[in-house]
Copies of this chain bind each other. A is one copy, B any other.
Amino acid sequence: MADINFSRPAAQPDSRGAEVSPGSARAGELRWDIIELLFFAYRDFVGDADHELEAFGFGRAHHRVLHFVHRYPGLKVADLLDVLRITKQSLGRVLKQLLDEGYIIQKTGNNDRRQRLLYATPKGEALVGKLAGMQTDRINRAIAEIGPAGTETVRQFLRAMIDRDDPDKVLETIFGSGKPAKT
């Protein structure tokens, strides 16, 4: 009954003199709250799509590929590898399925015929749009509480959370080509 546990987050951040060599933030300054909010927010954010993807026999990996191919039509395989930061073998597996099942098509590059430029098919657009719709609904509900100015603040915060050294082609586009990155 008493439920002695769950006595709220530790009042004294590091009772036992632990927390040896903390990143660089000193004890007591740690952003525990935001760390947890990010965990839960992201979990539920991707959870929307995860559920729907099951019905298609796809997973999160397929979603990521389809998303970026849709958003950046003509993306090269090499660029996709950069963005997703996975190996070509991992990508190959999911990409093959998306190709076989007609969600994505490849076109041979005009300049460089070795390249395979990727495009979402109408079928692929439909799926990625449905998933984005669900995620947008969640974002819109959250945005309704903070207004347009707040939305810009959130955008600013999220952009500042992203590593900007060695940006891939997508990040270059997002950040308006601040850095040239590898060609």
Contact = CB atoms under 8 A, between A and B. Distances in A.
Nearest to A42: B42
Interface of A is mostly: helix
Q: How many monomers of this protein are in the complex?
A: 2
Contacts of A126: 18-21
A66 B17 CA distance: 17
Contact of A156 (B16, B35, B76, B145): B145
B6 A37 contact: no
A161 B41 contact: yes
Interface in A1-40: 1-10, 13-14, 16-25, 27, 29-40
B71 A161 contact: no
A174 B38 CA distance: 13
A31 to B, nearest CB: 5
A164 to B, nearest CB: 10
A110 interface: yes
A133 interface: yes
A47 B161 CA distance: 11
25 contacts: A5-B72, A5-B76, A5-B109, A9-B72, A9-B173, A10-B70, A10-B71, A18-B129, A25-B140, A30-B133, A32-B71, A33-B174, A35-B132, A35-B135, A35-B136, A35-B139, A36-B174, A37-B155, A37-B159, A40-B158, A41-B158, A44-B163, A47-B163, A145-B157, A153-B153
Given A150-B153, A153-B153, 10 more contacts: A1-B111, A6-B75, A10-B71, A14-B129, A18-B122, A23-B131, A37-B159, A142-B160, A145-B160, A154-B157
